């Protein structure tokens, strides 16, 4: 739904803009983003299942929030479990998630950060036990498992939050308000990439742990770069447009990591939407240039989002909308633009415009904060199970297109739209 231009301008008072390049940012103070504990209440007891890389990242962000405390950690790998417990203050360790649920009845919320293909059983058990669940995305490695998780979340009385961080990112929320106004106007094209110089291979001195640690490289369970990385970025376009692709093409190859793997380290996808707009997506483990970002190109402007920053590039013939007067100039390659900052008027009066650029915390922090706001304050779930399911299905089918080299249809009936 497009936002009326007059309504948008009234809402945009205090935001910045100008011809050329606009940097999108939000003034987000640490305190303003944090959920509130009810007066006299103790921090919410939280459990973590999966203490690998993403699990450790979750623990780091939870520890910034006074409203919750990690009291139980679970991982089937002894080394990761030991490391996870050490990162908390007094958390109890478990090698089996069922033991955690059985013994720690006090735990009210669970973060699930196990390998993707193990989510289904863990989610079902946690929801059956009445726990609030934050499940990392993608939700599953098959459509059937993703649907089972969706059904379990719908049937549960507790809260389920899919780990799609773009929906909680303050910069993405701000930029979305511009996208859904007349600022971008007629949509021309979409593009995104995830470039990261890494291997996806975890070294281990214990050969028995090798396969489990390197599940992303196991063709039996991995959904590749399109599924593991693309899911999060595809959802950004779902979030902005309220539309979902109907067909995806793909290709992939091993360009750098010729170590015996069969999972492509470089992929390309084209996703077609019903209105004729196409999304071009690329991901690689062999190069880091321009990292991870998404781009929306329209007849009035383009918006580029990069998770902790964002920019708007206005066309020369785009109409002036009235908030350019607060411009704070910024150089972007060969173009001179201005920063766009929420509460810009207030910040300008304090001489703090430049401090409003960027995010003080990783985007994961805001997703976790939104989860706790749903649990503690009854706020609407920012990333519901339905959207987690749809993004996961699109990621799975994009990976199928890479593997087959064929067009893969994404039926609206499968997505539930």
Sole residue written with tokens 């289904």: 120
The neighbouring-strand residues paired with 408 are 248
- Return the bridge partners of 338, or none: 22, 329
According to the model, what pLDDT value does residue 37 have?
Answer: 65
pLDDT for res 8 = 41
pLDDT for residue 168: 96
Q: Identify each DSSP E strand in 285-384 by its residue range.
A: 292-298, 301-305, 310-314, 328-332, 335-341
Q: With DSSP H G I counted as helix, E B as strand and the rest as coil, what are the percentages for the chain, rounded to 5?
A: 35, 25, 40
pLDDT recorded at residue 328: 54
Give Cα separations from 317 to 175, 300, 330 (angstroms). 20, 7, 20
What beta strand segments (E) does 145-234 contain?
160-163, 187-195
Q: How far apart are the first and last CA of the chain?
A: 16
Domains detected in the chain: 5-29+168-359+381-415 (3.30.360.10), 31-166 (3.40.50.720)
Name which of 85, 154, 77, 159 is nearest 118 in CA terms: 77
Spans in the chain with pLDDT lower than 50 = 1-20, 22, 26-27, 30-31, 324, 327, 329, 336-339, 342-347, 350, 352-353
* Neighbour-count burial for 119-153, b at 16+ CB within 10 Å, e otherwise: bbebbbbbbebebbbbbbbbbbbbeebbbbbbebb
- Rg, C-alpha atoms of the chain: 22
Q: What's residue 314's pLDDT?
A: 83
Q: Which pLDDT does position 402 carry in this prediction?
A: 98
| Residue 348 tokens, joined | 């300008």
CA 16 vs. chain centroid, Å, equals 26
- pTM here? 0.91
Q: By C-alpha distance, which of 397, 409, 403, 400 is closest to 252?
A: 403
Say if residues 361 and 211 touch (Cβ distance below 8 Å).
no
> Tokens for 152?
């379990």
Specify whether the CB–CB gap between 288 and 195 falls below 8 A: yes
Question: Judging by DSSP bridges, how do beta strands 44-49 and 109-112 pair with one another?
Answer: parallel
């Amino acid at each position: 739904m497009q936002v009326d231009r007059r309504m948008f301008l009234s809402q945009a008072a205090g935001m910045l803009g100008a011809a050329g390049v606009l940097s999108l940012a939000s003034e987000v103070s640490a305190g303003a983003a944090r959920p509130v504990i009810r007066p006299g209440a103790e921090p919410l007891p939280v459990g973590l299942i999966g203490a690998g890389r993403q699990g450790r990242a979750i623990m780091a962000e939870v520890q910034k929030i006074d409203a919750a405390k990690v009291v139980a950690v679970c991982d089937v790998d002894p080394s990761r479990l030991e490391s996870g417990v050490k990162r908390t203050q007094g958390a109890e360790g478990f090698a089996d998630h069922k033991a955690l649920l059985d013994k720690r009845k006090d735990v009210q919320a669970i973060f699930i950060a196990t390998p993707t293909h193990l989510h289904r059983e863990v989610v079902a058990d946690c929801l059956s036990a009445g726990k609030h669940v934050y499940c990392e995305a993608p939700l599953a490695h098959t459509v059937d498992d993703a649907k089972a998780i969706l059904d379990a979340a719908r049937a549960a009385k507790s809260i389920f939050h899919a780990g799609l961080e773009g929906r909680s990112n303050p910069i993405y929320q701000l930029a979305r308000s511009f996208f859904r106004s007349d600022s971008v106007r007629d949509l021309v094209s979409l593009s995104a990439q995830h470039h990261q110089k890494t291997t996806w291979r975890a070294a281990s001195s214990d050969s028995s742990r090798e396969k489990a640690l390197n599940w992303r490289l196991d063709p039996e369970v991995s959904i590749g770069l399109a599924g593991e990385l693309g899911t999060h970025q595809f959802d950004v376009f779902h979030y902005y447009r309220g539309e979902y692709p109907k067909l995806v093409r793909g290709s992939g190859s091993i360009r750098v990591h010729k170590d015996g793997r069969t999972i492509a380290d470089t992929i390309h996808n084209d996703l077609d939407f019903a209105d004729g707009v196409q999304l071009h997506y690329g991901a690689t483990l062999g190069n880091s240039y321009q990292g991870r970002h998404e781009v929306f190109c329209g007849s009035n402007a383009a918006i580029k989002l990069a998770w902790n920053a964002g920019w708007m590039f206005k066309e020369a013939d785009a109409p002036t909308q009235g908030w350019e007067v607060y411009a704070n100039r910024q150089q972007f390659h060969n173009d001179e633009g201005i920063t766009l900052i929420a509460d810009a008027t207030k910040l300008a009066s304090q001489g703090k415009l430049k401090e409003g650029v960027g995010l003080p915390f990783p985007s994961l922090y805001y997703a976790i904060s939104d989860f706790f706001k749903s649990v503690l304050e009854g706020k609407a779930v920012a990333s519901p199970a339905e959207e987690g399911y749809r993004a996961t299905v699109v990621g799975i089918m994009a990976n199928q297109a890479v593997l087959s080299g064929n067009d893969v249809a994404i039926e609206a009936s499968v997505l539930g739209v």
